[in-house]
Amino acid sequence: MTVASEIKATFEFKPGLEGVPATMSSISFVDGQKGILEYRGIPIQELAEKSTFLETCYLLIWGELPTKQELEAFEHEIRYHRRIKYRIRDMMKCFPESGHPMDALQACAAALGLFYSRRALDDPAYIRAAVVRLLAKIPTMVAAFQMMRKGNDPIQPRDDLDYSANFLYMLTEQEPDPLAARVFDICLMLHAEHTMNASTFSARVTASTLTDPYAVVASAVGTLAGPLHGGANEEVMTMLAEIGTVENVRPYVEHCIQNKKKIMGFGHRVYKVKDPRATILQNLAEKLFEKFGRDKYYDVAVELEKVVAEKLGHKGIYANVDFYSGLVYRKLGIPDDLFTPIFAIARVGGWLAHWKEQLAENRIYRPTQIYTGSHQAPYVPIEER
């Protein structure tokens, strides 16, 4: 037995930690074979039909659906913490307009820690204030960067609008259509939480050091940004444009398979059937198309889903949450590079739930590694190298 195989047998190394439990959690549940997603035991379909994003965040973070009074108080607090300090806006003015909004968001989330530096992780009032602040201010920061990179002043939040309507308003200075606002709110609910994905893992690792919640969210935003995670929704739209027509779909898929190229918006570490969120998003896209007109790439998307299922279904590769979300966001008039920041706005709910759960029974994350380097190597003086 070689040293490497001996070590492998001892530690059972799993690349990407596939199947390795990283925590005990009661926040959400996924059955990847049956296509089930539940938040605190409630099926995602039921929440999408009956709940709102802020109610869902309350459920995720505090573990139970709020009473009417509790929800009103929570919504009220968030509504009145939406504004961001002018110094944060000044900081954003220095960001290059060509920078990616996810990078801007990560910097802004981290900067909140400078302004709200009191750290009292065992004080429920501090936890509540941090939850409210992050849920309230993250959308304002995303919308402000969008306006500022176009050379405009940021639009102040409107206290008479609810969470999602206000965000859409801050992007365009126009009060959104009620259907658009409701669809957007459902999208946020669908993206709010999803067990131990990369960004949530990142949030929990950061939380386990007992740093502040702004650092927790900033590290999670950085992790979400990559194209294999939250960044896939933006890449889907680029891919649909590249394919262009229904006729090009089959050759595109065949080319990807031959060249071992990933088709964006497909595949999932856990789901081996169509992601239940993709089904809901597709329905939402169709509702929007009925009212506001069909997206020119929708037929390409439907054909792509069909051909991928035919060619890669045997490997359990089906549409994931990112496949239809871009089509929905585009119909809402949202630019492509804001799709991932919107994912982040939603996922803040899940990250905060995991932050709170981690604090309740904390042990710092400190996994091990399998060393593959040399030992007792000589130090060679620079002139002899």
Distance CA 268, CA 273 (A): 9
Smallest distance from the beta carbon of 33 to ligand CMC, in angstroms?
Answer: 14
Is residue 100 part of the annotated active site? The answer reads no
345 binds ligand CMC (CB under 6 A): no
CB nearer to ligand CMC: give 6 or 242. Answer: 242
Listed ranges 75-83, 97-105, 240-248, 312-320: which one lies at the site for ligand CMC (CB under 6 A): 312-320
338: tokens are 């804001």
Looking at residue 55, what DSSP letter applies? H
228 binds ligand CMC (CB under 6 A): yes
Smallest distance from the beta carbon of 346 to ligand CMC, in angstroms?
Answer: 11
200 binds ligand CMC (CB under 6 A): no
By CB under 6 A, name the one of 1, 2, 5, 16 that touches ligand CMC: 16
By CB under 6 A, name the one of 109, 221, 317, 342 that touches ligand CMC: 317
Smallest distance from the beta carbon of 148 to ligand CMC, in angstroms?
Answer: 27
Secondary structure (3-state) at 345: helix
41: left (phi over 0), alpha (psi -120 to 50) or beta: left
Query: Minimal CB distance to ligand CMC: which residue?
Result: 267
By CB under 6 A, name the one of 100, 250, 262, 272 that touches ligand CMC: 262
Secondary structure (3-state) at 8: helix
By CB under 6 A, name the one of 92, 188, 203, 263 that touches ligand CMC: 263
For strands 28-31 and 36-39, give the pairing: antiparallel
Listed ranges 41-49, 156-164, 243-251, 310-318: which one lies at the site for ligand CMC (CB under 6 A): 310-318
For strands 36-39 and 42-43, give the pairing: antiparallel
- Closest to 309 in 3D by CA, of 318, 298, 301, 299: 318
Listed ranges 107-115, 124-132, 153-161, 255-263: which one lies at the site for ligand CMC (CB under 6 A): 255-263
Residue type, 129: A
Is residue 268 part of the annotated active site? The answer reads yes
Residue type, 208: S
269 binds ligand CMC (CB under 6 A): yes
- In this structure, how many other beta carbons lie within 10 angstroms of the beta carbon of residue 182? 17
Total residues at interface with ligand CMC (CB under 6 A): 21
Distance CA 102, CA 142 (A): 8
By CB under 6 A, name the one of 83, 229, 250, 287 that touches ligand CMC: 229
Packing angle, helices 232-243 and 249-258, rounded to 10: 120
Distance CA 112, CA 92 (A): 13
By CB under 6 A, name the one of 111, 225, 264, 348 that touches ligand CMC: 264
Distance CA 203, CA 348 (A): 10
Listed ranges 82-90, 170-178, 228-236, 283-291: which one lies at the site for ligand CMC (CB under 6 A): 228-236
295: tokens are 């997206």
CB-based contacts of 115: which residues, under 8 Å, 6+ apart?
85, 87, 88
CB nearer to ligand CMC: give 262 or 287. Answer: 262
Residues 79-138 that bind ligand CMC (CB under 6 A): none
Distance CA 372, CA 3 (A): 9
272 binds ligand CMC (CB under 6 A): no
CA angle 341, 347, 349 (to 5 degrees): 130
Positive or negative, the CA dihedral 320, 46, 39, 140 is: positive
Smallest distance from the beta carbon of 311 to ligand CMC, in angstroms?
Answer: 9
Q: Which helix (H) or strand (E) holds 38?
A: strand 36-39
193 binds ligand CMC (CB under 6 A): no
CB nearer to ligand CMC: give 161 or 281. Answer: 281
Smallest distance from the beta carbon of 378 to ligand CMC, in angstroms?
Answer: 39
322 binds ligand CMC (CB under 6 A): yes
| Interaction site with ligand CMC (CB under 6 A) | 16, 197, 228-230, 232, 260, 262-269, 312, 315, 317, 320-322
Any idea which residues carry the catalytic annotation?
Answer: 268, 322
